[in-house]
């Protein structure tokens, strides 16, 4: 329909058959594949997910186990990334920390997206006063700087992993809701909706068959961006002591703990930070490539 494009008009080397008609999702995949940075980003993300899933089998030591005799050692053959003041192996802790980051980021984004979709659908589809009220409420959420909002929620609810997840989801859900609402509004007015409705289609059919598919790609883009934000904010909250608590090996917490012995053990500061950069970078690159691939405006280039 809108985005079916002949194979010829997509520039670059392709080994597709000439004149093959591309569906929107196929086109998106082709565009995505060509972005080298996006591939790198996706590989980074897949790597992280792999580590999060299988970390227990890879880590050389138990992340919580203290080898007090070997505390504050630099990277060596025995402890690849060194040890902290309790003698815990940093490599194992970083590997385990990956799981925390992945859980918090995916969990909070899932929650935020789910809540946002529901709110956005209700607001956009039913319109009227419900819409106005919901939009006002969303405006209130937008009126807060993100970190402050997350901070106040964690401060009230108590600093632990679950509350961090919830707090991050809360700060992001309004964004999803707005995007979904926008999508819903743009589809709602199209004529084929009127046509379908006139032959008696029920609301939920209209929503699921026509509106949701259009909503999916902005959601995916927003979710990927949100994933990198979530990792950053979980680390920030843990860094401030408002997130995961010791002895959990979350990257932000490791950074915070490293500050005391920074001068004699700089490796404690460098590696957790690099992990955060790696994760955020991976999601960012993947997200950028996804956005380029799914953004209809760029389909013509």
Partner 1 sequence: MVRYIFARLLTLIPIMLGVSMLIFGTFHLIPGDMVDIMMGDEVAGDPKAAQELRKSLNLDKPIYIQYGYWLKNALRGNLGKSFTSGKPVMEMILSRLPVNIELMIIAMVFIIFMGIPLGMLSAYKQFTFVDGLLRIVTIMGYAIPNFWLATLVVLVSSLYFQWLPVLKYIPFSEDPLRNILYLLIPGFVLATSTLSYIVRMTRSSVLDTLRQDYVRTARAKGMTEKIVLSVHVLRNSLIPVVTVLGFQIGVLIGGLVLTEHVFVLPGVGRLILLAIEQRDFMIVTGSILFLSTVFVSLNLIVDIIYAFLDPRIRY
- Which among 63-71, 196-204, 215-223, 262-270 is the span making contact with partner 1, rule CB under 8 A? 262-270
Q: Which is nearer to partner 1, 211 or 252 (CB)?
A: 252
266 contacts partner 1 (rule: CB under 8 A): yes
Least separation in angstroms between residue 233's CB and partner 1 is: 9
Nearer to partner 1, 127 or 241 (CB): 241
CA distance 139 to 142: 5
List, in sequence order, every beta strand (DSSP E) within the chain: 5-6, 21-22
280 touches partner 1 (CB under 8 A): yes
CB of 131 to partner 1, least distance (A): 15
The answer to the question of residue 179 lying near partner 1 (CB under 8 A) is no
Compute the least distance from the CB of residue 85 to partner 1, in Å: 16
Q: Taking each helix axis from N to C terminus, what angle separates 90-126 and 251-258, rounded to the nearest 10 degrees?
A: 130
Q: Which is nearer to partner 1, 22 or 252 (CB)?
A: 252
**Alpha carbon of residue 155 to chain centroid:** 23
Per-residue binding letters, 136-165, with partner 1 (x by CB under 8 A): xx-xx--xxxxxx--xxx-xxx--------
By the rule CB under 8 A, 300 interacts with partner 1: no
Of residues 65-84, which lie at the interface with partner 1 (CB under 8 A)?
none
Position 168 contacts partner 1 (CB under 8 A): no
Residues 290 and 284: their CA atoms lie apart, in Å, by: 10
Token pair of 65, please? 């186990």
User: Can you tell me which of 39, 118, 212, 240 binds partner 1, judged by CB under 8 A?
Assistant: 240
Q: Going by C-beta distance under 8 Å and a sequence separation of 6 or more, which residues neighbour residue 256? A: 238, 239, 240, 241
Residue 123 or 187: which CB sits closer to partner 1?
123
Give the residue with the Cβ less far from partner 1, 61 or 258: 258
Query: Which of residues 253, 276, 294, 299 is near partner 1 by CB under 8 A?
Result: 276
- The strand pairing partners of 5, in sequence order, are 22
Q: Does 239 bind partner 1 (CB under 8 A)?
A: yes
Tokens (6 digits) for 116: 């946002």
- Give CA–CA dist 130/136, Å, rounded: 10
Q: Which of residues 198-237 bind partner 1 (CB under 8 A)?
A: 228, 232, 235-236
Considering only residues 28 to 57 of the shown chain, the ones binding partner 1 according to CB under 8 A are 37
Binding of partner 1 at residue 277 (CB under 8 A)?
yes
DSSP string, 234-260: HHHHHHTTSSS-TTS--HHHHHHHHTT
Is 259 an interacting residue with respect to partner 1 (CB under 8 A)?
Answer: yes
The yes or no reply on residue 284 touching partner 1 (CB under 8 A) is yes
Closest residue by Cα to residue 116 from 209, 182, 165? 182
Q: Is the dihedral of CA 277, 151, 49, 60 positive or negative?
A: positive
Instruction: Specify the DSSP element, H or E, that contains 225.
Output: helix 212-239
Task: Report the nearest approach of partner 1 to the CB of residue 23 (Å).
Answer: 27
Per residue, what are the HEC states of 107-155?
HHHHHHHHHHHHHHHHHHHHCHHHHHHHHHHHHHHHCCCHHHHHHHHHH
Q: Which residues bind partner 1 (CB under 8 A)?
A: 37, 136-137, 139-140, 143-148, 151-153, 155-157, 228, 232, 235-236, 239-242, 255, 258-259, 262-263, 266, 269-270, 272-273, 276-277, 280-281, 284-285
């Amino acid at each position: 329909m809108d985005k079916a494009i002949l194979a010829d008009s997509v520039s670059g080397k392709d080994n597709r058959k000439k004149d093959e008609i591309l569906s929107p999702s196929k086109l998106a995949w082709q565009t995505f594949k060509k972005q080298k940075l996006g591939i790198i980003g996706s590989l980074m993300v897949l790597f992280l997910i792999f580590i999060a899933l299988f970390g227990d089998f890879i880590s050389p030591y138990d992340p919580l186990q203290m080898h007090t005799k070997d505390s504050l050692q630099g990277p060596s053959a025995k402890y690849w990334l060194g040890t902290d003041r309790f003698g815990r192996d940093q490599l194992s802790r970083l590997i385990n920390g990956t799981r925390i980051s992945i859980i918090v980021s995916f969990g909070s984004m899932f929650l935020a997206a789910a809540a946002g979709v529901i709110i956005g659908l209700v607001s956009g589809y039913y319109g009227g006063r419900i819409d106005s009220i919901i939009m006002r409420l969303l405006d209130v959420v937008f009126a807060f700087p993100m970190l402050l909002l997350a901070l106040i929620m964690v401060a009230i609810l108590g600093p632990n992993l679950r509350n961090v997840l919830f707090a991050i989801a809360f700060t992001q859900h309004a964004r999803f809701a707005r995007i979904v609402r926008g999508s819903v509004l743009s589809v709602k007015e199209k004529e084929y909706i009127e046509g379908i409705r006139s032959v008696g289609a029920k609301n939920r059919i209209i929503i699921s068959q026509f509106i949701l598919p259009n909503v999916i790609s902005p959601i995916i883009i927003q979710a990927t961006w949100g994933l990198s934000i979530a990792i950053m904010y979980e680390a920030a909250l843990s860094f401030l002591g408002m997130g995961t608590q010791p002895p959990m090996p979350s990257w932000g917490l490791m950074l915070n703990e490293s500050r005391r012995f920074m001068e004699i053990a700089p490796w404690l500061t460098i590696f957790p930070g690099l992990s955060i950069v790696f994760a955020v970078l991976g999601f960012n690159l993947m997200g950028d490539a996804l956005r380029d691939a799914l953004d209809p405006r760029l389909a013509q280039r």
